[in-house]
Homo-oligomer: A and B are copies of this chain.
Amino acid sequence: MTALFTPIAIGHARTPFRELSEIPKGPGTQHVATGTIELLPEFEEGLTDIEGFSHLFILWIFDRSEGWALLGNPPGEITPHGVFATRSPYRPNPIAQTTVELLGRDGAKLTVRGVDMLDGTPILDIKPYSSSIPAETLRLGWMEKRGR
């Protein structure tokens, strides 16, 4: 398999979490921690007009996971599930996605609520959260019985 592109860090996350054990996880977890997405200065112009959006998708790298597994047991789950049906960090491409609420911007820094990544995590991309699937139409598979 050949390389498709070369990922670069556009910035880093500043969060309260220094160790994986500090990040809330498991059934029904709500991520409410506040943190900062600090872009490198050369990418600041790419944030133009982002202030108008209430929510963003942050794409980031599971940079402290090694390797991947097609089946895994999420926290609290006895039954293994496929990696593409979970948020496991052990993915063929170690890309994570977090939805955050945008609280404010100061130049190249975004203050956001809902961070669930370790402090110092490399950021790949930021995208506007532009539409929602109505909650009442969602089926959540194995997650349903967990109260999410």
Interface residues of A (CB under 8 A from B): 1, 3-10, 43, 45-55, 57, 59, 61, 63, 70-71, 80-87, 91-95, 97, 99, 122, 124-135, 137-144, 148
Contact = CB atoms under 8 A, between A and B. Distances in A.
Contact of A135 (B46, B134, B141): B134
A131 B55 CA distance: 13
Q: Give the number of copies in the complex.
A: 2
Closest 10 CB pairs of A and B: A52-B141, A48-B82, A54-B139, A84-B126, A46-B70, A132-B132, A45-B70, A50-B85, A46-B83, A46-B82
Nearest to A86: B128
A133 to B, nearest CB: 5
Given A52-B85, A92-B125, A43 B61 contact: no
Given A54-B138, A54-B139, A138-B132, A1 B5 contact: no
A53 B138 CA distance: 7
Nearest to A57: B97
